[in-house]
Structure 1
Amino acid sequence: MSTHETLKPPAGGLFDPRMVLPAAMLLLLGGLWGLSFSLSKVAAMGGVHPFAYAWMQSTGAAIFLTLVCWHKGIPLEFSRRHLVFFVGAAVIGLVLPNINIITTAKHIPAGVMSTVVSSVPVLGYVLAVGLRIEGFRWACAIGIGLGLVGALMMVVPDTSLPSPDMVPWVLMAFLTPALYAFSGIFSDRMRPDGTHSLAAARGMLIVASLSTLPLMLAVDGFYPLMADPGPTDYAMLGQISISSVAYILYFEILKRAGPVFLSLVSYVVNLFGLGWGWVIFGEVHSAWIWGAVGCVFVSMVLVNLGRKAR
């Protein structure tokens, strides 16, 4: 989720016939990523340790992408620059966000988590301005303000969340999109020239797998997947499958339609995240949460429009 491409979308816009397949892929990707929040909640409620969750998810996807790269003849790169990139991107963009997701998922609704994580474009712009990578734009500034209003609507009113005890966990959940946003900037700056996107993802996932293994063993958090098959096991298998397939969809959409079109996935993830939360857990949100969803949606529109204008 953190690499960038320079390809442009087809000249015909969203209604160009060539955009039909990318649009279908975008909906599928958003549906899968939206489902992942509910699956992480199932895994957390089933007792999967955050370190075991991060290890299984990255290891399964790493094996899958290694096979894909081998089939495509994409070589492994072990230069110093590649290793720095893989380690940094893995820790910032995979390990820490995954651990934070599984830690907070047990305590807040899956739909709220999907709304929080969909704020990545907004936080990414804040970081880009703070690091002087991008300039100030009023549309983006207004979008940031609305995003802040949405965040406050989630945590300030006593009637917004099912329980006031969830407020600290919602605030902690915002660490995940902040890490994703910083990972995007790090990868854009540190990715070695000529690194294939699938090779970048494979390297990140291998490092994530290797770095979380000792953490999992140190806390004796290994989860015997499918030893006694149940909802928790199927949720983890689903997460591994999503991580594997999502990378293929992600890079294929980038190749066919470009990064501006791909940025629309944040909206799709939010909608599907809310929908899956209702289907699986029967989550019914307060008016405050729906107001927050609206604010976050509009904030993403303004920020994306401002960055596109650039």
Structure 2
Amino acid sequence: MMALIQRLPLPPQTIAWGLLVANGFLIALMLALAKAATAQGVPAVTYAFWQTLIAGSVLLLGSARFSAIFERRLTTYFVISGLTGIAIPNAIAFYLVNKLGAGFIGIMYALPPIFTFLIATTMGLEQRNWTKLTGLSIAVSACAWIVLQRHSEMNQANGLWFALGFLIPAMLSIGNVYRSVAWPRQTKPLILAAGTLLASAISLGALALLTETPLFSQDFGQPFLGIIILQGLLTALTYYCAFELQKRTSPVFYSQLGAVAAVFGLIIGIAWFNESYSLSIWLGAIMVIAGLRVSNRAASVKNCQPPGDDTGYIRQHPEARSAQDA
């Protein structure tokens, strides 16, 4: 698929933004399917396990180098990337989606740029920039406003659920930075996506065994099989495109993926599940996205260049250039 896209006369910026929008929609759809399944009594850990196992298996079978996934040098990368980028945030999201709504969980996926920027500047991956800081401050304030409004609209909502929700962007941010900095040399994104998903599945399977959570039960209902197969296939596409996007952009640009997912999440939540959100929450969501756009205004064009280009990010971290060689 990516080979076909690369043959089209499209500038790198267009490809990067296209991948960003497509990924955002797929993430929102993933959350909607998870809500439909967990509403039938499927445990969040169980659903996340099958989702990642099916998706990882599909990508592995589609890989030209099946044996590459078993290379020892990739083991640490797969485990850390799988836990921070998939297993932990997805399990939390699937657990909370029926409690706080698909739209609200989608907003949590919009926050990684804030955490990513803090981590990246601390590590020297991004330069401190007042424009970015201003935009992220707007986004943080808007998010706090959304949480307060949503909590007031849900009389029985547990405050701990909202606190738990913030682990989603925190883990995703750690994963964003780690994958960019530790990107293995001479390894294609398809292999990295497959290995990360399968490592996530193994972690979730172990957690299910430790907590005595059933990985399959007749109580899950007949529609479960169809939903999880569809989810696995969509997840395979989502993470394949995500790793292609990560290869072409910086961690901060990549982390804007959640803002797109947040918009689609609100729309799908209303259209599919009849979720209702007040005008104040919609305004807050708009302000989150506006703040993220302000924060990336000065660097968005530069950051969406492929790693082979002579950007400041590559000059500081030449190891990321190896991704383009793969």
TM-score range, shorter chain: 0.7 to 0.9
The TM-score normalised by the length of structure 2 is 0.78
**Shift in Å, 1:158:** 7.4
Which amino acid counterpart does residue 42 of structure 1 have in structure 2?
A
Task: Say which SS state the counterpart of residue 46 (structure 1) adopts.
Answer: coil
Which amino acid counterpart does residue 127 of structure 1 have in structure 2?
I
**Shift in Å, 1:249:** 3.2
Q: Could you say which residue in structure 1 is the equivalent of 2:207?
A: 215
Q: Could you say which residue in structure 1 is the equivalent of 2:27?
A: 33
Aligned partner (choices 132, 138, 150) of residue 146 of structure 1: 138
Provide the rounded CA distance (Å) in 2 between the counterparts of 1:41 and 1:111: 11
Q: Could you say which residue in structure 1 is the equivalent of 2:43?
A: 49
Q: Could you say which residue in structure 1 is the equivalent of 2:282?
A: 290
**Shift in Å, 1:27:** 4.4
**Shift in Å, 1:128:** 1.2
CA contact (8 A) 1:140 1:307 kept: no
Q: Could you say which residue in structure 2 is the equivalent of 1:3?
A: none
Deviations 1:174-208 (A, max 9, x none): 21111111111111222221221111111112212
**Shift in Å, 1:25:** 5.6
Pair 1:259-2:249 in alignment:
yes
Which amino acid counterpart does residue 34 of structure 1 have in structure 2?
A
Distance 1:248 1:228, change over 3 A: same
Q: Could you say which residue in structure 2 is the equivalent of 1:132?
A: 124
Provide the rounded CA distance (Å) in 1 between the counterparts of 2:163 and 2:151: 16
Aligned partner (choices 282, 293, 308) of residue 301 of structure 1: 293
Task: Say which SS state the counterpart of residue 133 (structure 1) adopts.
Answer: coil
Q: Could you say which residue in structure 1 is the equivalent of 2:157?
A: 165
Pair 1:245-2:237 in alignment:
yes
Higher relative contact order (CA 8 A, sep 6+): 1
Deviations 1:67-97 (A, max 9, x none): 111xx24541544431111111111111111
Distance 1:198 1:303, change over 3 A: same
What is the count of residue pairs matched by the alignment?
Answer: 294
Distance 1:305 1:218, change over 3 A: same
Pair 1:268-2:260 in alignment:
yes
Task: Say which SS state the counterpart of residue 124 (structure 2) adopts.
Answer: coil
CA contact (8 A) 2:35 2:94 kept: yes
Which amino acid counterpart does residue 41 of structure 1 have in structure 2?
K
**Shift in Å, 1:26:** 5.0
Distance 1:225 1:165, change over 3 A: same
Provide the rounded CA distance (Å) in 2 between the counterparts of 1:211 and 1:11: 39
Where do 5+ consecutive residues of structure 2 fail to align? 1-5, 303-311, 313-326
Provide the rounded CA distance (Å) in 1 between the counterparts of 2:297 and 2:106: 22
Distance 1:234 1:219, change over 3 A: same
Q: Could you say which residue in structure 2 is the equivalent of 1:68?
A: 62
Provide the rounded CA distance (Å) in 2 between the counterparts of 1:179 and 1:10: 36
Which amino acid counterpart does residue 194 of structure 2 have in structure 1?
R
Q: Could you say which residue in structure 1 is the equivalent of 2:270?
A: 278
Aligned partner (choices 114, 125, 136) of residue 122 of structure 1: 114
Which amino acid counterpart does residue 175 of structure 2 have in structure 1?
S
**Shift in Å, 1:44:** 2.3
Distance 1:12 1:83, change over 3 A: closer
Deviations 1:257-303 (A, max 9, x none): x4378666444322211111011210120122112201210121022
Aligned partner (choices 82, 89, 95) of residue 81 of structure 2: 89
CA contact (8 A) 2:81 2:178 kept: yes
Provide the rounded CA distance (Å) in 2 between the counterparts of 1:143 and 1:185: 20
Deviations 1:73-127 (A, max 9, x none): 4541544431111111111111111211122112101111111211222221122
Comparing 282-291 with 246-255, which one deviates more in the overlay? 246-255
**Shift in Å, 1:146:** 0.9
Where do 5+ consecutive residues of structure 1 fail to align? 1-6
Provide the rounded CA distance (Å) in 1 between the counterparts of 2:32 and 2:185: 37
Comparing 26-35 with 204-213, which one deviates more in the overlay? 26-35
CA contact (8 A) 1:43 1:233 kept: no
CA contact (8 A) 2:112 2:256 kept: no
CA RMSD of aligned residues (A): 3.0
